[in-house]
Amino acid sequence: MTDWRAYCSPIRDQGDCGSCTAFGTIGAWESLIRIKESNPSLDIDLSESDLFACSGGTCSGGNTVEATLNQALSGVCLESCLPYEPRDRSCGQDRCGEWWNTGKKLSSWKPVNNQGEMRARLDKGPLAGTMAVHQSFLNYLGGVYHSLGPSDPIVGYHMIAIVGYNDTLGAWLLRNSWGTGWGMVGYCWIKYGDSEIDVEMYALEPDGPIPEPQPTPSPCKWGRGFAKILNFFLWLTRQKGRYYYMNP
In the annotation, is 20 catalytic?
Answer: yes
- Is there a contact between 111 and 136 (Cβ–Cβ < 8 Å)? no
Task: Report how far residue 155's alpha carbon sits from residue 200's, in angstroms, rounded to the nearest whole number.
Answer: 19
In the annotation, is 158 catalytic?
Answer: yes
Nearest partner of 165 among 209, 212, 127, 207, judged by Cα: 127
- Is there a contact between 53 and 63 (Cβ–Cβ < 8 Å)? no
Selecting among 63, 77, 134, 176, the annotated active-site residue is 176
For the chain, helix (H) and strand (E) counts, in that order, are 5, 8
33: left (phi over 0), alpha (psi -120 to 50) or beta: alpha
Give the DSSP per-residue string, 62-89: B--HHHHHHHHTT-B-BTTTS---SS--
CB atoms within 10 A of CB 228: 11
| Side-chain-side CA neighbours of residue 96 (13 Å) | 15
- Can you tell me whether residue 229 is helix, strand or coil? helix
In the annotation, is 134 catalytic?
Answer: no
Selecting among 8, 20, 54, 188, the annotated active-site residue is 20
- Is there a contact between 159 and 149 (Cβ–Cβ < 8 Å)? no
Q: Which residues are catalytic?
A: 20, 158, 176
